[in-house]
Amino acid sequence: MHTEVEGITTWPTAALPAPAGLCVHLIGIGGAGMSAAASMLLELGAKVSGSDLESFDGLGDLVAAGARVSVGHHETQLAPDADLVVASAAIPESNPELVAARACGMRVIKYAELLGLLMADRCGMAIAGTHGKSTTSAMVVHILRQAGLDPSFVIGARSSQLGGGGGVGCGRHLIVEACEYDRSFLHLQPESAAILNLEPDHLDCFGDLDGVIEAFCRFAERVEPTGLLVCNAEDERVIQASRSATAMVETFGVESPANWQAVHLRSDRGAYAFDVLFNHQRVLTTRLSVPGKYNVANALAATALAYHAGADPEGIGQALATFEGLDRRMSWRGKGEGVTILDDYAHHPTEIRVTIEAAKNRYQPRRTWVIFQPHQTSRTHHFMDQFAGALSRIDEIIIPDVYGARESDAQACKSGSQELALRIRKLGGHARYLPSFEAVTDHLLEHIAEGDLVMTMGAGDVWRIADELVERLCRSD
């Protein structure tokens, strides 16, 4: 038997056999969440195979752990004895492996359904929101590990500190990043959860902001009635969504009235020290290593979840101070000829603005260069003016072609980037459209100088420019 929740099929725990010996094929295994889930399945004893369109970061780790991974999609790559086929949200119904799996009568589920099944026999903890999900999830994992609670986890980014994007612990908690795209998080029924913020996003899926809010309301309802929902007191839309919860609700805020408050903030080159109050009583003091005021809010949400999971306040403060962040979150890529190169995943206007502010506070550059690769033409057009506003005050902006992801219209990818560069220039910004990564790298090498900061930014493969730039600068040093 299965049930329907807002058009989402949910399966009971018994629908997933014990992972040990289970043969699972993952289509789109290269995605951050999918590769993390693959790692967890491997650790649980499953036989894992999978495919992706191209090589990806972490492929070698999966193969070394025992996975059989193919580059490219073909029906012959589908294991004939697969017990379960998992498809990422980006996989179209026309995918040859997906078509073959359905034709053979194999059980096919989405990635989000797999997370829900893995969570069913654990103490689930889900972190949702438009921004900060991966970082906050990783913070919670790090805190609980330091507290000896050894959680399992699946998050949508890689962490060198945690050993990847997913893992199996001996503790009872499973921590997951809860993605709202395609209403994926409605497959989860966590015992505790957080909603960090709520802004218009994925409008190709939700249609408008009301659709986004409605989905978060349904997510709030999914938290166990005896559990906990942690919400941002400074976001009216989050508070609106939290009213749908039957679980206990606690709020967090940065110097704002809330159950969990950060007060007495002190900044040192963009990284913050602060005290944490719980219901007006100081419970800990910490100093973050990761920069940005937005990470204070992330740390508050992580603190609330970890505290109710059993971590003591002093240990939470110590763990937050040693949290190193995630790959592609203001990641240091290198320095050559006096030029600092960073890379970041930001692909929403708010993320772009706060990340650039944090980077400038941390490195205090002579000039800031941002190479922003828009993600999907639909998103680019939805947020065209907001992107232009977020980027217009940067010293130098370069826009390569849009990363199409689920889209394939090359002309649309080109025109979207051209239009964004034009909008930035109309606002007084110094923006240039350069379609190829090679053209971007050549332009940078010709114009950057000692004391500059270069940041590649976007959810696509723009990080390749950062790595190429580091290699060529260091080669000439």
Please state, for a pLDDT cut of 90, what percent of the chain lies above it: 69
Q: What is the mean pLDDT of residues 112-140?
A: 92
The residue among 87, 108, 99 whose CA lies nearest residue 15 is: 108
Query: Which CATH superfamily hosts domain 122-321?
Result: Mur-like, catalytic domain (3.40.1190.10)
- 219 has a pLDDT exceeding 70: yes
The residue among 9, 167, 22, 26 whose CA lies nearest residue 90 is: 26
Task: Report how far residue 449's alpha carbon sits from residue 252's, in angstroms, rounded to the nearest whole number.
Answer: 42
Task: Report how far residue 296's alpha carbon sits from residue 234's, in angstroms, rounded to the nearest whole number.
Answer: 13
Say if residues 174 and 152 touch (Cβ distance below 8 Å): yes
- The residue written with tokens 């900061």 in the block is 453
Q: What is the mean pLDDT of residues 331-359?
A: 92
Amino acid symbol at 306: A
Task: Report how far residue 194's alpha carbon sits from residue 85's, in angstroms, rounded to the nearest whole number.
Answer: 29
Q: Is 77 left (phi over 0), alpha (psi -120 to 50) or beta?
A: alpha
The residue among 229, 362, 366 whose CA lies nearest residue 293 is: 362
- Give the global pTM: 0.86
* Total residues found in the chain within this entry: 477
Q: How confident is the model at residue 54 (pLDDT cuts 50, 70, 90)?
A: confident
Say if residues 110 and 87 touch (Cβ distance below 8 Å): yes
What residues does each domain of the chain span?
A: 17-110, 122-321, 331-476
- 143 has a pLDDT exceeding 80: yes
State the average pLDDT for the chain. Answer: 90
Least confident of 32-36, 239-243, 420-424, 428-432: 32-36
What is the three-class DSSP state of 243?
coil
Q: How confident is the model at residue 175 (pLDDT cuts 50, 70, 90)?
A: very high
Say if residues 453 and 367 touch (Cβ distance below 8 Å): yes
Please state, for a pLDDT cut of 70, what percent of the chain lies above it: 94
Q: What is the mean pLDDT of residues 39-68?
A: 89
CATH code for the domain defined by 331-476: 3.90.190.20
Query: Comparing 89 with 178, which gets the higher pLDDT?
Result: 178
**Across 178-259, where does the E strand assignment appear?**
192-195, 228-232, 248-254
Query: Comparing 406 with 194, which gets the higher pLDDT?
Result: 194
Q: What is the mean pLDDT of residues 25-38?
A: 89
Contacts of 34 (CB under 8 A, 6+ apart): 26, 28, 50, 86, 88, 111
Kindly report, residue by residue over 383-395, the tens digit of the pLDDT. Answer: 999 999 999 999 9
CATH pick for 17-110 out of 3.40.640.10, 1.10.12.10, 1.10.150.240, 3.40.50.720 = 3.40.50.720
Q: Give me the sheet containing 248-254, strands edge to edge.
A: 166-167, 152-154, 173-177, 123-128, 192-195, 228-232, 248-254, 260-268, 271-278, 281-287
pLDDT number for residue 290? 95
What does the block give as tokens for 11?
């399966």
- 211 has a pLDDT exceeding 60: yes
pLDDT number for residue 17? 55
The residue among 351, 344, 418 whose CA lies nearest residue 380 is: 418
- 442 has a pLDDT exceeding 50: yes
Question: What pairs with residue 455 in β-bridges?
Answer: 342, 370
pLDDT number for residue 165? 86
What is the three-class DSSP state of 450?
coil
- 410 has a pLDDT exceeding 80: no
- 296 has a pLDDT exceeding 70: yes
- 289 has a pLDDT exceeding 90: yes
Q: How confident is the model at residue 399 (pLDDT cuts 50, 70, 90)?
A: very high
Kindly report, residue by residue over 64-95, the tens digit of the pLDDT. Answer: 999 999 999 999 988 888 899 999 888 889 99
